[in-house]
Amino acid sequence: MLDNSELLALIKERVCYTDLVYQRVNTKLKVDLSRAEIETLVQAILGDQQAMLKKRGKNYYVTSLARHTRLTINSFNFRLITADRI
């Protein structure tokens, strides 16, 4: 079983995106970021040593208090589902 930091590193390495998720992230976070900027933001959150990771059902929830953002990632295929302000 992986610890949280190892699991975050694995997610960071394997996270993937759909065309729809870029639009969803911009809508939910009320921003207008490019695809590259969204991917950079996600990588920064996943690389944050203070990020909190929880698994609920089939999803991982990665929370960055510093960025006031929570990522929802599918635990089976590591696909980003959405991002929310917290």
Return the domain boundaries, the chain.
4-85
Average pLDDT over residues 2-17: 93
Which residue intervals of the chain are DSSP H helices?
4-14, 19-29, 35-47
What pLDDT, in 10s, does the model give residues 22-62?
A: 999 999 999 999 999 999 999 999 999 999 999 999 999 99
Domain 4-85, CATH class in plain words: alpha beta
Band (70; pLDDT cuts 50, 70, 90): very high
Q: Is 83 helix (H, G, I), strand (E, B) or coil?
A: strand
Looking at the whole model, is its pTM more than 0.85?
yes
Whether the CB-CB separation of 37 and 31 falls below 8 Å is answered with no
Mean pLDDT of the chain: 96
Q: pLDDT value at position 73?
A: 98
- Residue 1 predicted with pLDDT over 80: no
